[in-house]
Amino acid sequence: MTHLLIISDDSITAAALRAALGKSGFSAATASYKDALETAARTSPHLLLAEINGHYDASRWQSVIALKKKRELPVIALVSETALASLDTHREVDDFIITPCNDVELSLRINRLLRSSAADSENSEQIKCSGLTIDLATCEVTVHGSKVDLTFKEYELLKLMASNKGRVFTREALLDKIWGYDYFGGDRTVDVHVRRLRSKIEDVDHTYIETVRNIGYKFIKNE
């Protein structure tokens, strides 16, 4: 399911929008501009909906900019007619819609932007997933903008699984692909390396690799 974060200082409007998006099949959380960063860390959204109602406030908008850059999230601005003139003063918006808006149109715009973002990621030399970025050109891994130091085997494991999101790899398959068919170590080698890898890229709020009981591992697939 697609997870959205509605950023608005009008709790009534945000709640109504959340209910409408829920009927369209989206899971949405709400947050004020002040609490946006904290809420995003807890809910891991795929897209931001930021309400700009009235006069554009640059100081409040900084939290949206920070989220977009840190988590590489697309942003749709929900703009009142009175705030429309100020929209071109910042280029961080991927799309906008004038409020009050049609629920069907908003859903279509959300889906279009998510498809576009996914295509851009697939066509680039980067693999991205909920704040995790693997730069295939430089072999660097970052989590929410912070560089992660991985060993060669850890990097190869991560790259292999992240390139095949949702696919289950047996321990034997990982041994063969990463260590080679002539490696004589046991399955325990895979478990140790995956455990170390997860300790470096995951925290209590973010899981990227799942254990498939009695089989092996898979990289999560965002829906």
Mean pLDDT of 88-117: 82
Overall residue count recorded for the chain in this entry: 223
Q: Check if the beta carbon of residue 67 is closer than 8 Å to that of residue 48.
A: yes
Going across the sheet that includes 168-170, the strands are 168-170, 216-219, 209-212
Going across the sheet that includes 47-52, the strands are 27-31, 3-7, 47-52, 75-79, 95-98
Q: Is the pLDDT of residue 120 over 80?
A: no
Q: pLDDT category, 118, cuts 50, 70, 90?
A: low
Q: Is the pLDDT of residue 90 over 60?
A: no
Q: Check if the beta carbon of residue 223 is closer than 8 Å to that of residue 25.
A: no
User: Among 4-13, 61-70, 116-125, which is the least confidently predicted range?
Assistant: 116-125
The burial of 170, by beta-carbon neighbours within 10 Å (0-12 exposed, 13-18 middle, 19 or more buried), is given as middle
CATH of domain 3-121: 3.40.50.2300
Predicted model pTM: 0.56
User: Among 168-172, 175-179, 185-189, 215-219, which is the least confidently predicted range?
Assistant: 185-189
Position 134 scores a pLDDT of: 93
Q: Would you say the C-alpha torsion 27, 93, 44, 134 has a positive or negative sign?
A: positive
Q: What is the DSSP letter of 178?
A: I
191 SS3 class: helix
Domain range 126-219, CATH class: mainly alpha
Q: Is the pLDDT of residue 64 over 60?
A: yes
| Tokens coding 174 | 């990982």
Position 152 scores a pLDDT of: 93
Q: Is the pLDDT of residue 94 over 50?
A: yes
Of 57 and 11, the structure prediction assigns the larger pLDDT to 11
Q: Where are the domains of the chain?
A: 3-121, 126-219
Measure the CA dihedral 182/188/194/200, to 10°.
-120
18 SS3 class: helix
Q: How far apart are CA 131 and CA 139, in angstroms?
A: 16
Of 121 and 130, the structure prediction assigns the larger pLDDT to 130
Mean pLDDT of 78-88: 75
